[in-house]
């Protein structure tokens, strides 16, 4: 039963187009027909009253014993209706259709109604709007959202408004009570105030209905209006907006920038269709075109008597052409087909969208909405092959004749039931697919991305092997995959040779969770295809774009064999609208996928301000993707011709500053650095110098930490000549806190790929704080040219065997403020040492407070300090110093006092 309800509900999603929800079109709409059921005849003794001129659907799934009738409303007292159309369940389903209502094609039409339900657990109530041709044959049907459960008040549901096609002549309204996976035995649904409305018809598009342009191409917007009301004043306003990733003031943020606004002041009061054309290619700012690479949306607002009543939206992208023949791991999972796009357009958009893989239904039931016919699919296979895009055949829409052999609760998300049967059960219906496509399609997936019927199946190796044998009769060593859940143990590769797993879970994992999943399953030996479902439109564009890019990178770094966008046509989290126009996430996906094509992970740079980043090498360049949860400015030398690309594909030269560094009393040295404004939205740093990048990543400290003991410590700087020729190199190691560093000053001469070691001697001052600190190494390299740059590396004072931790809070009692400081010294030395410390709390302008730690064995020692007049210390820096008695250890902690309340303990 659920198959019928699920299929119907999918029709609404398939009709979605770019929309703007700032205006409520129903508020200004004109009522064409209103059904309230209040004037129907009263109940008679032998028959329940029925809606006049409506017809009831009949059939095995729509039995007469499900009562449907007009009856007084059992509703809240403030509801002004008198009667409604009521369905009372007794098993089965019910549908009523209105009489056909004639429409005009110069208006748009919508439908709204009030629905109330009681006791519905599996069933759902909804309305439909069907468009019919002159023969009164249904061409399209659109559904409202479903109402389930129990509601004390009526819920308003809506459909549309929709622009009718030229062949549409009538509409029919439907009231439905449909079963889900299971059927409710009891329950009620009421329908009332069903209103068919009309609005002026407004359309907006580019002059050739194209949505993807190269920089410099002519782009003209055409907006048409018809169905205007006589005697009223009308106006059409067009607005051009673009999403820009601004990087000013140490921030990176995506903002919507209104580029241009144009009002049509011509007379719109005449009857007939009015078309307004706007050539965007002529728009300039400071003698430059406004239409640079990026994502754009054009909004048409129709006003009547000065009030905005309707808005329409179209989107397009301006971009550079993707380089053909590139190889990558990114793809789209088109589980429901091509949406409203035709096959040639889908293949071209996929190729330009950074896609190297496409999952597409090849075993389809012609009755399923949105599915292409076999000729279109064959054409798609050929076009994708020519564009070096690998097609994965989805076996997710088996013929209805096959599904009808199962119980009524069979759904398309249980394909495992079919393939768990003997081969002669499913092979005859699949044989034409194998014969048509297996020569060119090597990868096949059983079921769609929500099908869990294979997870935990004991006979899975046997099932996959038997299917593979049938495909291999015609094809060549095909791979058979299934959907799998991250939360379930993965099968080992040796049990499923020539297979793959399409992996996702609900809710979809974020970047950190995805990284954990990939690390945990790295040793399974089975190819892992990662599904990425972007955040929905409920989130801000900043968050959506950043999350998408981070998960794409994590999947690439984690060794995913392929990375797929989950249902790109979904209106809430997709990359495309069903008509093929881009959503705001198309370019972030494309920019990242193209950047990572044919790339190899090199490592991560240690940035001065610790911004997370990932460095990749690809033919001809090194690139870095960088971000930071907080707005940050990073200054680092990456090469001479570095460029910044935002997530919308806009590229600009990186800002460069030149610093003068004193070498000796008589000379200075120029050091160039790129200035990167970094924030939560990642940016891509392109054209980095590969020798410099590899040299940075190769340079390490041998020990990386020294004990917190007085005296001299030895360290070694290690690295490799990555410049591909002989070089001379000198270095200068620096620490904060006035460390004393003795190092070799004589330049080294290195041959290509030669490793080097630079010994240094370190000693730290008494005031040095234990824990993590930053070390920098200034390098001067003479290769094909002179290079001067700084490498940052983390360093640690203390081996972690003896630790000093500090907690503090401000205690307020009886009008007094007391600073309470807790000192914790931990001893985990091995072999065990018995430790004694003299401790001093240093407070500006106050007498120091002293404590002693005596004979500390393994474990912790806690001491407390209490300082009066704490308010005068807010914002001041205080220090805690612990000096080992008869030893070399010296522990320091410094912090700025904040007005921190005590931590409440449960």
More confident residue, 21 or 176: 176
pLDDT of residue 477: 85
Do residues 95 and 191 make contact, with C-beta atoms less than 8 angstroms apart? no
pLDDT on residue 14: 31
Residue 422 has pLDDT above 70, yes or no: yes
- When pLDDT is averaged across residues 162-173 and rounded to a whole number, the result is 93
139, 52, 144, 161: which is closest to 99 by C-alpha?
Answer: 52
CA–CA–CA angle 701, 702, 703 (5° rounding): 95
Q: What does the pLDDT look like over 186-232, one tens digit per residue?
A: 899 999 999 999 999 998 999 888 999 998 888 999 998 888 877 78
Residue 319 is predicted with a pLDDT of 94
DSSP label of 889 = B
Residues 6+ apart with CB under 8 A from 5: 124, 178, 179, 180
Written in H, E and C, the secondary structure of 529-590 is EEEECCCCCCCCHHHHHHHHHHHHHHHHHCCCCEEEEECCCCCCCCCECCCCCECCCHHHHH
pLDDT confidence bin for 7, thresholds 50/70/90: very low
pLDDT band for position 786 (cuts 50, 70, 90): very high
State how far the Cα of 348 lies from the Cα of 336, in Å rounded to an integer. Answer: 18
DSSP secondary-structure letter at 62?
B
Structure confidence at residue 1 as a pLDDT band (50, 70, 90): very low
DSSP designation for 321: P
Cis peptide preceding 707, ω within 30 of 0: no
Q: Which residues contact 703 (CB under 8 A, 6 or more apart)?
A: 714, 715, 716
Cα gap 495→492, rounded to integer Å: 6
Confidence of residue 369 (pLDDT cuts 50, 70, 90): very low
- Distance (Å) of CA 773 to CA 314, 701, 764, 897: 52, 14, 12, 21
Can you give the pLDDT at residue 606? 95
Which region, left, alpha or beta, applies to residue 870 given φ > 0 means left and ψ of -120 to 50 means alpha? alpha
Give the span between the Cα atoms of 745 and 757, in whole angstroms: 13
Closest by alpha carbon to 637, among 775, 773, 792, 758?
Answer: 792
pLDDT of residue 145: 92
Q: Residue 77 — very low, low, confident or very high, per pLDDT cuts 50/70/90?
A: very low
What are the start-end ranges of the H helices in 48-157? none
| DSSP codes joined into one string, 248-274 | -TT--EEEEEEEEEEEE-S---SSS-E
Q: What percent of the chain has pLDDT over 70?
A: 90
Mean pLDDT of 667-673: 78
Query: How many other C-beta atoms can be found within 10 angstroms of the C-beta atom of residue 408?
Result: 14
SS3 2: helix
Report residue 683's pLDDT band, with 50, 70 and 90 as the boundaries. Answer: very high
Q: Residue 833 in contact with residue 827, Cβ under 8 Å?
A: yes
What pLDDT score does 375 carry? 76
Taking phi over 0 as left and psi of -120 to 50 as alpha, with beta for the rest, 695 belongs to alpha
Tell me the C-alpha distance between 886 and 893, whole Å.
Answer: 21
Q: Which of 613-627, 675-689, 793-807 has the least mean pLDDT? A: 793-807
Query: Is the peptide bond between 161 and the residue preceding it cis, with omega within 30 degrees of 0?
Result: yes
- Does pLDDT of 265 surpass 80? no
Residue the block writes with tokens 């076996």: 395
Place of tokens 């198309």: 586
Structure confidence at residue 339 (pLDDT):
81
Q: How confident is the model at residue 624 (pLDDT cuts 50, 70, 90)?
A: very high
Tokens representing 188 are 């009620």
**Spatial distance between the Cα atoms of 745 and 747, rounded to a whole number of angstroms:** 6
* Euclidean distance between CA atoms 371 and 343, whole angstroms: 11
Residues 318 and 292: beta-carbon distance below 8 Å: yes
With both helix axes pointing from N to C terminus, report the angle between 586-596 and 541-557 in degrees, rounded to the nearest 10. Answer: 20
Is it the case that residue 132 has pLDDT exceeding 70?
yes
- Cβ proximity of 403 and 410 under 8 Å: yes
User: What pLDDT does 693 receive?
Assistant: 97
Note whether 264 and 235 are within 8 A (CB): yes
Tally: H helices and E strands in the chain: 11, 55
* pLDDT tens digits along 809-849: 999 988 899 999 999 999 999 899 999 999 999 999 999 99
pLDDT category, 65, cuts 50, 70, 90?
Answer: confident
Q: Is 426 left (phi over 0), alpha (psi -120 to 50) or beta?
A: alpha
The answer to whether the bond into 305 is cis (omega within 30° of 0) is no
Q: In what order do the strands lie in the sheet with 651-653?
A: 600-603, 613-618, 621-626, 683-688, 643-645, 651-653
**636-654 per-residue burial string, b: 16 or more CB within 10 A, e: under 16:** bbbbeebbbbbbbbbeeeb
What's the pLDDT score for residue 368? 45
CA atoms within 13 A on the CB side of 131: 22
Tell me 59's DSSP state. B
d(CA 45, CA 809): 81
Residues 282-299 pLDDT 10s: 777 666 677 889 999 999
Confidence of residue 340 (pLDDT cuts 50, 70, 90): confident
Q: Tell me, rounded to whole angstroms, the distance of Cα 98 from its chain centroid.
A: 42
Are residues 411 and 2 in contact, defined by beta-carbon separation less than 8 angstroms? yes
Q: Judge whether residue 150 has pLDDT over 80.
A: yes
The pairing of strands 562-566 and 528-532 is parallel
CA-to-CA dists, residue 462 to 308, 423, 495, 624, 728, angstroms: 63, 11, 10, 45, 62
- Per-residue pLDDT tens for 507-558? 889 899 999 999 999 999 999 999 999 999 999 999 999 999 999 999 999 9
pLDDT bin (cut points 50, 70, 90) of residue 5 is very low
Rounded Cα–Cα distance for residues 23 and 307 (Å): 11
Question: What local confidence, expressed as pLDDT, does residue 257 receive?
Answer: 81
φ/ψ of residue 806, rounded to 5: -130, 130
pLDDT at residue 666 in the model: 61
Both tokens of 271, joined, read 């009857």
Question: 737 vs 509, 609, 741, 772, CA distance in Å?
Answer: 42, 18, 12, 12
**Packing angle, helices 343-352 and 374-386, rounded to 10:** 30
Mean pLDDT of 115-144: 94
Q: How far is CA 316 from the centre of its chain?
A: 20
Strand order in the sheet with 705-706: 705-706, 786-797, 771-782, 727-735, 748-750
pLDDT above 60 for 410: no
Residue 874: closest CA among 899, 844, 849: 899
Q: What is the DSSP string of 337-388?
A: --TT--HHHHHHHHHHTT-SEEEEE-S--TTSTTPPPHHHHHHHHHHHHHTT
Please give the structure tokens belonging to residue 536.
């929905």
Judged on CB neighbours under 10 Å (0-12, 13-18, 19+), 100 is: middle
Q: How far apart are CA 366 and CA 349, in angstroms?
A: 25
**Residue 246 scores a pLDDT above 70:** no
pLDDT, average across residues 234-251: 76
């Amino acid at each position: 039963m659920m198959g019928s309800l699920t299929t119907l509900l999918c029709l609404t999603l398939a009709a979605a187009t770019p929309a703007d929800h700032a205006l409520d079109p129903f508020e200004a709409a004109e009522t064409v027909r209103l059904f309230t059921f209040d004037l129907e005849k009263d109940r008679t003794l032998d028959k329940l009253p029925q809606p006049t001129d409506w017809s009831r659907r009949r059939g095995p799934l729509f039995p007469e014993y499900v009562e449907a009738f007009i009856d007084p409303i059992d509703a809240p007292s403030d509801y002004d209706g008198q009667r409604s159309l009521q369905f009372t369940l007794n098993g089965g389903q019910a549908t009523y259709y209105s009489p056909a209502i004639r429409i005009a094609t110069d208006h748009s039409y919508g439908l709204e109604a009030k629905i109330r339900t009681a006791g519905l657990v599996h069933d759902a109530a909804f309305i439909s709007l069907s468009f019919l041709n002159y023969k009164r044959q249904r061409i399209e049907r659109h559904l409202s959202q479903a109402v389930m459960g129990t509601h004390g008040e009526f819920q308003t549901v809506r459909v549309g408004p929709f622009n009718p096609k030229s062949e549409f002549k009538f509409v029919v309204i439907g009231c439905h009570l449909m079963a889900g996976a299971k059927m409710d035995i009891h329950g009620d649904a009421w329908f009332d105030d069903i209103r068919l409305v009309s609005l002026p018809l407004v359309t907006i598009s580019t002059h050739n209905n194209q949505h993807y342009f190269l920089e410099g191409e002519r782009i003209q917007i055409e907006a048409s209006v018809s169905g205007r009301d006589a005697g009223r004043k009308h106006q059409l306003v067009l607005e051009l907006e673009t999403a820009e990733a601004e990087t000013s003031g140490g921030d990176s943020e995506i903002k919507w920038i209104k580029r241009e606004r144009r009002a049509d002041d011509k007379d719109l009061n005449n009857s007939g269709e009015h078309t307004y054309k706007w050539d965007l290619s002529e728009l300039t700012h400071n003698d430059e075109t406004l239409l640079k690479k990026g994502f754009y949306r054009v909004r048409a607002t129709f006003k009547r008597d000065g009030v905005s009543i309707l808005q329409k939206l179209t989107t397009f992208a301006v971009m550079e052409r993707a380089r053909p023949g590139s190889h990558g791991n990114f793809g789209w999972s088109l589980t429901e087909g091509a949406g409203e796009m035709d096959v040639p357009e889908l293949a071209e958009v996929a190729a330009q969208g950074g896609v190297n893989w496409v999952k597409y239904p090849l075993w389809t039931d012609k009755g399923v909405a949105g599915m292409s016919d076999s000729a279109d699919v064959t054409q798609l296979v050929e076009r994708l092959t020519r564009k070096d895009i690998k097609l994965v055949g989805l076996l997710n829409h088996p013929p209805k004749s096959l599904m009808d052999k199962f119980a009524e609760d069979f759904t398309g998300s249980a394909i495992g039931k079919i393939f768990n049967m003997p081969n002669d059960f499913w092979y005859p219906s699949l044989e034409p697919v194998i014969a048509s496509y297996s020569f060119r399609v090597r990868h096949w997936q059983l079921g769609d991305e929500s099908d869990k019927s294979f997870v935990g199946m004991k006979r899975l190796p046997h099932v996959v092997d038997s299917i593979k044998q049938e495909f291999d009769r015609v094809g060549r060593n095909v791979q058979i995959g299934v959907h799998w859940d991250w939360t379930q143990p993965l099968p080992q590769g040796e049990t499923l040779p020539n297979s793959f797993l399409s992996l996702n879970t609900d809710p979809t994992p974020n970047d950190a969770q995805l990284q954990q999943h990939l690390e945990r399953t790295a040793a399974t030996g089975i190819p892992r295809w990662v599904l990425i479902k972007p955040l929905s439109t409920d989130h801000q564009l900043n968050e959506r774009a950043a999350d998408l890019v981070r998960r794409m990178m994590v999947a690439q770094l984690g060794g995913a064999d392929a990375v797929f966008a989950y249902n790109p046509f979904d209106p809430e989290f997709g990359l495309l609208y069903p008509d093929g126009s881009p959503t705001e996430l198309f370019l972030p996906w494309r920019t990242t996928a193209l950047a990572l094509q044919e790339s190899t992970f090199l490592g991560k740079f240690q940035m001065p301000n610790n911004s997370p980043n990932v460095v990749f090498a690809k033919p001809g360049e090194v690139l870095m993707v960088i971000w930071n949860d907080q707005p940050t400015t990073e200054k680092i030398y990456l090469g001479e011709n570095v460029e910044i690309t935002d997530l919308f594909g806009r590229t600009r030269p990186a800002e460069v500053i030149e610093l003068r560094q004193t070498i000796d009393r008589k000379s200075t040295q120029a050091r160039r650095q790129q200035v990167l404004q970094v924030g939560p939205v990642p940016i891509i740093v392109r054209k980095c110098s590969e020798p410099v990048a590899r040299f940075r990543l190769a340079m390490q400290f041998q020990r990386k930490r020294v004990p917190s003991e007085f005296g001299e410590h030895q360290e070694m700087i290690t690295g490799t000549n990555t410049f591909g020729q002989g070089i001379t190199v000198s270095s200068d190691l620096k620490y904060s806190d006035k460390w004393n560093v003795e190092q070799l000053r004589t330049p080294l001469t290195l041959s290509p790929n030669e490793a080097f070691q630079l010994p240094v001697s370190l000693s730290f001052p008494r005031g040095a704080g234990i824990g993590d600190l930053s070390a920098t190494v200034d390098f001067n390299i003479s290769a094909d040219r002179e290079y001067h740059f700084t490498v940052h590396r983390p360093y640690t004072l203390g081996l972690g065997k003896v630790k000093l931790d500090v907690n503090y809070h401000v205690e307020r009692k009886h009008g007094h403020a007391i600073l309470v400081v807790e000192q914790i010294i931990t001893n985990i030395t091995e072999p065990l040492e018995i430790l004694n410390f003299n401790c001093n709390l240093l407070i500006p302008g106050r007498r120091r407070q002293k404590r002693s730690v005596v004979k500390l064995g393994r474990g912790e020692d806690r001491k407390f300090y209490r300082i009066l007049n704490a308010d005068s210390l807010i914002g001041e820096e205080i220090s805690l110093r612990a000096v080992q008695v008869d030893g070399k250890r010296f522990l320091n902690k410094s912090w700025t006092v904040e007005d921190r309340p005590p931590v409440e303990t449960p």
